[in-house]
Structure 1
């Protein structure tokens, strides 16, 4: 059985939970055993337990984000030792890019990162596809063990002086049951409050605004005959127009609107459309671990987008596709 070690920032715990869920079939089939700091028992020496498992792991997953890189413990302790073991041929290090950040010049920057092309999980329109890609690549690795090293029991690992850690790093582990065997499947359903949902919709709308601004600027830079207007009318509504030689070829308005129910994202193909009408409405869809956006009407969507749980970028990309379609005819 191949042992996987998760090195991650606690600020990315929800994403780690989703990845672990996607590794569920490998776990059920008995191909892998996973370990992370949430399995440290009450009264165990935190450093000692982490060191022992890091030394015993066959595959070390570095869950990369700006918080991982900022963390002294994750970056300077766990990552440095993981790379040493990788270079010695004792283990395989796999960088898993969770969120966009400056990582290419890091010591692991020369390693092939996952998901595919090193594209951060949060940038995929459907994050399940990203995690499925990671799981598939780990499955291929499991068939080729890189280490014959025996597992080292935590109790026999050499003691070390405690090391101060950043907030959200492995040092802030939550105690569990001590010394007894237990499942690694300890995920619990996440509860999202109304405020969480409202903030998610607002953050998604703000991302869409930035996405449209950037896309219009790039489109105009590449096509001198094009001009564009972008206007964020207020904190809940934006409008975009695209012109070719002064003639309108695409326009839309996007706003936060709930129509008397929970807020969602409404898209209209006309900048003058009044509140209450729309061509597409996206609402929140909640899984056990995260919030996503989902189309309520699926007009003009691709097969992959129609029923998908969309990330913020996935939502923006889908709405941009609807906007630009008329200009591409």
Structure 2
């Protein structure tokens, strides 16, 4: 079932809306997303009524954030304000897409994980298509969780909104659910590394290679040519698919093309009475922190690139 997304934008940013629609074409074909914009409003209709009806019927609110968006009384003070109320009730998921450099970090949007990666404005990417690809991959992840409702951690089920309160139903997660969750997490991590390698290749003195070893394994190498003779780092990630000889549900090693029975750490699918989530273990430290797939990918990518002397602000 497609997720309905309300796209909030300033008319000054129409070019960004058109670009986003082009990049979302495959999401539409796959039946992942249906999008609503004010283009469908018939002349003479009551604007507020049409907008708020569509907003309340949506599961995702995509804000194309720019100086014009922040300055727009309608976009910011009406659409976004209403979206925040729906989000507080657990009925909507807000996704900021930073389409132009602006002071969004001084707005309520700062508390949300923005797209593209790290909230880097699309025009600041060397190749804007890579930026839009990152946005699309993020939206696909959002759709995976949102279409199941609730909009929070994967696995939590929403029965109904009762007097503005969201009900949570206790449940036990079976083997198939856990494996599906691990499969989706692996896909997110794999796509994250592939996109990040493409972006890293745009930087001077840095080279990255992503290689899919199989449907359930990939390996990456990054070389920092800023060091004399170069400084490299490697990682191989395997989806265990329930195999007992593997470490955890997803395991990784700091080697190129390593075997699946070699590991420097692993990712495990855990659950409480309501949600499934991911845990990280590198054999030296076992954190109790809960992660989603994107957060795991962030942690692994930063540790991987740090080994090549690459750091992110």
Scaled to the shorter chain, the TM-score interval is 0.3 to 0.5
TM-score (norm 2): 0.47
TM-score (norm 1): 0.45
Q: Point out which structure has higher relative CO (alpha carbons under 8 A, 6+ apart).
A: 1
